A and B are shown apart, each in its own frame.
Chain A
Amino acid sequence: MMSPYVLATLFFYAASLALYIWNLREPSRVAGIGATTCLLLALWLHYLALLARSRLIHAVPYDDLYGSLSLFAWLLAATYLVLEAVHRRQAVGPFVLPIVVAVFLLAHAREAQPIKAPPAQGPLFAFHVTLNILAYSAFAISFVLSVIYLLQNRRLRDHKLGSVGWRFPALDVLERMTRSSVLIGCGSLAAGMTAGFIWAHRLQGRYWDGDPKVVITILILAFYVGYTFLSRTPAWRGARASALCIFNFMFVIFSYSIVNRYLSHFHRYF
C-alpha cells in the first residue's frame, strides 16, 4: 500500500497536470497559479515521501532503481519549475508533468524493500548519483522541448497553428531553452561522472573496471556535446537539431533501463 505522502504527492502532481492542460487549452490566471502551486506542493510532499522511503530502507533513496526513479521524477519536476520561473512560460508543463507522473508511479508502484547488501555510503557517492540523475532530468526536459519544437515547427510550416500553437513559446525560445537544458545536463553529467570515478578509485583502487554503464554514459555525454556543436551549424540548426536531441534521449532511456538493469554489474540496483 502506498504511503500517505506518496498518495498526496500523486494527487498534487495529477492536479497540477490537469491545471496545466486546462491553462494550455483556456488560459486563465486561476489555472496558471493553481498549476504552479500544486506543483510546489507536490514537490514538497514528494520530498517527504523520499525521506520516508529513505528511512524505511535505512539508506539514501536512490540506492535502488525505484528510489532513483523517484528522485529522477522529483528532479525533473524541480528542473521544470526553475525553467518555468526563469522563462515565465507554462505551456511546456503539460508535456513535462505526464513524464513526472509516469516515472513517479513506476517508482512507487511497489513497496520499497530493505536492501540486503551494504548500501553505498558517503557524500561523494551521493554527489555522483544526484548529479547524474539531475543530468538525466535536464536531458528529459530537453527531450520534451525538442518534441514541442518539432510539433510547433510542423504547425508553422503547414499553416495550422490552431489555438494551442499561439500559446507555445517561439521556436527560437524553444531552441535556446533546449540548449540551456542540454548544457545543464552535460555539466551535471561530467561533474557526476568525475565524482563517480574518484569514488570508485577510493573504493577499488582503480577508476574504471570496464562497466558498460560507464561506456554508455560517456557516449551519452559525447552525443549531447555533439548536439551542442551541431545545433549551431547551418546543416543542423532548427528541426534537425531537435530531432537529434530526441534521438540522444533514447540513449538516456536505454542507459537508465536496459543497461542499469541487465548489462551493468556495478550499477545494478539489486
Chain B
Amino acid sequence: MEIVLIGLNHRTATVELRERVAFSVQQACEAADQLRSRGILEETLVLSTCNRSELYGVPRELAADSSGAIELFLASFHQLPPAELNDSLYRHRDRSAVNHLFRVAAGLDSMLLGEAEILGQVREAYRIALDHGATGPVLNRMFQGALEVGKRVRNETEIGTRPVSVAFAGVKLAERIFGRMDSHRALIVGAGATSEQVVRHLCDRGIKQLRVLNRTPEHAVDLAARFGGDVVPWENLTAALEWPDLIVTSISSAEPILTRAAIERAMARRGNRALLMIDLGVPRNIASGVAELYNTYLYNVDDLTEIVEQNKKAREAEIPRAEAIINEQIEKFVHWQAGVAAGAVLGDLRTKLAAEREAFLRERLASLSNLSERDRAQVAVLLEEFMDRVVLNPAERLRGIPDLRRKLQNLEALRDFFHLDREKP
C-alpha cells in the first residue's frame, strides 16, 4: 500500500512551465483514467492550482518503478520532453508524500504563508476525483486527513488570521473598529489598481454600500460597475465625506485632498460616528492633523506596511504549532495505514497456511488408507486448530500492538518468514 507523489510548484518551476503542466478539470479526470487503465496506478488524484500541479497515486502492487512511469506519463500527457520536466519535479513516497500534502493543505507550502485558498482547492480536487471514482480507500483517507489538518491549522493557530497585504490589512483594521462590514459604508477616492484591491477585499468581507470618486469619472464608473457601487462626482468630495464609515484614498496629488478642516466639518455633520481613513496615496492624500480629531483613525501606507511586516513575522512564528498539528495527523494516518497493512498481511498468511495445510494433508493422508472419511475430516480440523493456535492467533495480536514501529517490523518479519510477497499476483 504505497503512496507516490510527483509534482512541481512555484519553488521548483517557472510560471511558463507551471502553465504547461496545469490540468483542467477534464484533463485531471482523463489523466486519472489513463493512469489506471495503463495499470500504473490503482488510485489517482490530480491537484492543480496556479502555483502547483501534483499527482497523487497508489501504485498497483509490485508495479515496477511507478514514479518513473508517472513522470513519463506526465511528460507525454502534456507533450513535453521528459528532460525538460525532470529537473522541476519533486518526488515523495509514503510518509513524505502525506507530509507534503498536509503541509500544502495547511498553507505552509504556499507562496503566501498560511493563505486559505489552497484548502478550498484541495477540497475541490478531492471532490472531483471522488466523484469521478478515481480515488480509493488510501487516497480518501489521506485527503480527508489533509482537509482536517487544514481546518485545524486555521482554527488552532494564527497562521492565516492576520493580513499580509496592505490592502487586506486596511480592511481587517476596519473590522477591528466596525466588526462586520455588511452594515457599513465605504467611500473610495481614486480608481486605480490599489483602490481595486481594497474594494475587492471589502466586497469579500461583505460590504454592501460603496461609493467611488475619481478625477477621471470613466475609471470610477468602471470600478463601481464591477463591484456594485455608486459613482460620486469629484466636485462633491467634501459633501460625500459625511456618508461613509471608511474612506480609502489613493490619488496622485502633491497636496492633501482631505484637510483637517474638511474632516472636522464632516465629523460634526455625521454626529462623531467613528471614521477610519486609509490613505494609500504617496504623497499622502489626507492631512496628518486629521488623526488628532475625536473618533477618527488614520492609517497611511507606511503604517499599513509596518503592520504587514509584523503580521508576516507572526505567521512565521506559528509554523511550529502548525507542524505539530501536521505531525499528529500524520501519526494518525500512518497508524491507520499500518492497521490496513496488518489486515492484508494476515489475510495473505491465512490463505497461504490454508493452501499448505491442504497440500500437507493430501500428501500424508494418501498413505493412511485405514482412516475413514470421518477420521480424515477430524485430522483436518485438528490440524487447522493447531495452526490457528500456534501461528495465526499470535499473528492476529499484531493488530493490537500500539507501538507503530514494532507493528511495522513484525509485519515485515511475517512477510519475510512466510514469503508472502512472493505469493502476490
- Our verdict on whether A and B bind, yes or no, reads yes
Q: Which residue of B lies closest to A232 (CB)?
A: B271
B175 within 8 A of A: yes
Q: Which residues of B contact A168 (CB under 8 A)?
A: 176
Q: Is the CB of A170 within 8 A of B155?
A: no
B148 within 8 A of A: no
Give Cα A149 to B90, complex, Å: 51
Chain A, interface size: which category? 20 to 34
B124 within 8 A of A: no
Give Cα A28 to B307, complex, Å: 23
Pick the residue among B176, B179, B273, B306 that contacts A166 (CB under 8 A): B176
B158 within 8 A of A: yes
Most chain A C-beta atoms within 10 Å of own C-beta, residue among B155, B175, B176 = B176
> B289 → chain A, closest Cβ, in Å?
14
B340 within 8 A of A: no
Give Cα A99 to B303, complex, Å: 35
Give Cα A173 to B321, complex, Å: 30
Pick the residue among A156, A165, A166, A234 that contacts B297 (CB under 8 A): A156
A239 within 8 A of B: yes
B162 within 8 A of A: yes
Q: Is the CB of A237 within 8 A of B273?
A: yes
Given A159-B303, A170-B177, A173-B179, check contact A238 B274 (CB 8 Å).
yes
B156 within 8 A of A: yes
B341 within 8 A of A: no
Q: Which residue of A lies closest to B161 (CB)?
A: A166
Pick the residue among B268, B297, B314 that contacts A163 (CB under 8 A): B314
Q: Which residue of A lies closest to B313 (CB)?
A: A163
Given A172-B178, A238-B272, A238-B274, check contact A159 B307 (CB 8 Å).
yes
Q: Which residues of A contact B96 (CB under 8 A)?
A: none
Contact with B along A207-250 (1 / 0, CB 8 A): 00000000000000000000000000111011110000000000
Q: Which residues of B contact A234 (CB under 8 A)?
A: 268, 271-272
A116 within 8 A of B: no
Give Cα A172 to B273, complex, Å: 10
Give Cα A152 to B176, complex, Å: 9
Q: Is the CB of A156 within 8 A of B295?
A: no
Q: Which residues of A contact B321 (CB under 8 A)?
A: 26, 28
Given A163-B314, A238-B272, A238-B295, check contact A156 B179 (CB 8 Å).
no
A169 within 8 A of B: yes
B392 within 8 A of A: no
Contact with A along B281-301 (1 / 0, CB 8 A): 000000000010011010100
Q: Is the CB of A237 within 8 A of B271?
A: yes
Q: Is the CB of A171 within 8 A of B176?
A: yes
Q: Is the CB of B178 within 8 A of A170?
A: yes
Q: Is the CB of A171 within 8 A of B162?
A: no
133-161 of chain A: CB within 8 A of chain B: 152, 156-157, 159, 161
> B405 → chain A, closest Cβ, in Å?
27
A202 within 8 A of B: no
| 26 A-B residue pairs with CB within 8 Å | A30-B156, A152-B176, A156-B173, A159-B299, A159-B307, A161-B173, A163-B314, A165-B176, A166-B161, A166-B162, A168-B176, A169-B179, A170-B178, A170-B179, A171-B176, A171-B274, A172-B177, A172-B178, A173-B179, A233-B271, A234-B272, A237-B271, A237-B272, A237-B295, A238-B295, A239-B294
Q: Besides the contacts A159-B307, A172-B179, what 19 more A-B pairs have beta carbons closer than 8 Å?
A: A27-B156, A27-B158, A28-B156, A156-B173, A156-B177, A156-B297, A159-B303, A161-B173, A166-B158, A166-B161, A166-B172, A170-B179, A171-B274, A172-B178, A237-B271, A238-B272, A238-B274, A238-B294, A238-B295
A residues sitting closer than 8 Å to B (CB atoms) are 26-30, 152, 156-157, 159, 161, 163, 165-166, 168-173, 233-235, 237-240
